[in-house]
Amino acid sequence: MQRIPLSEARSHLSALVQQAATQRHVTAITVHDELKAFLIAPSRLEALLEAERKARPARKRKSKLRGSLRIVGDLEAPDESPSQRLQRSALTSAEVLERE
């Protein structure tokens, strides 16, 4: 990697771009001896970004709930079996949907 001041980079920019593109050469550009930028080939940058993306832990997508829920009737009626409750609930829901 070559470090050059900005003033020199300006005067040799075409050659530096050619080096970066053909030789995959990286040039560090400095201002007052402080590193400010890099001149790098697009393919090399893409490879670096891809490697960074793969190294990052995958984000979990938050699922979005859509629609609505309407509770009809008593959900905790102790005198019914679960299958009877389900059947009653389905019938009640069907009646509500028919009215809408």
59 contacts 34 by C-beta, under 8 angstroms: no
User: Comparing 74 with 48, which gets the higher pLDDT?
Assistant: 48
Q: What mean pLDDT value characterizes the chain?
A: 83
- Ramachandran quadrant class, 17 (left: phi over 0; alpha: psi -120 to 50; beta: rest): alpha
Is 80 exceeded by the pLDDT of residue 38? Answer: yes
- Measure the CA–CA gap between 97 and 87, rounded to whole angstroms: 15
Q: Compute the average pLDDT of residues 16-42.
A: 91
Fold of 2-43: YefM-like fold (3.40.1620)
Q: How far apart are CA 39 and CA 41, in angstroms?
A: 7
pLDDT tens-digit map of 52-90: 888 887 777 777 777 877 777 666 656 667 777 788 888
User: Higher model confidence: residue 78 or residue 22?
Assistant: 22
Residue-range domain boundaries for the chain: 2-43, 68-100
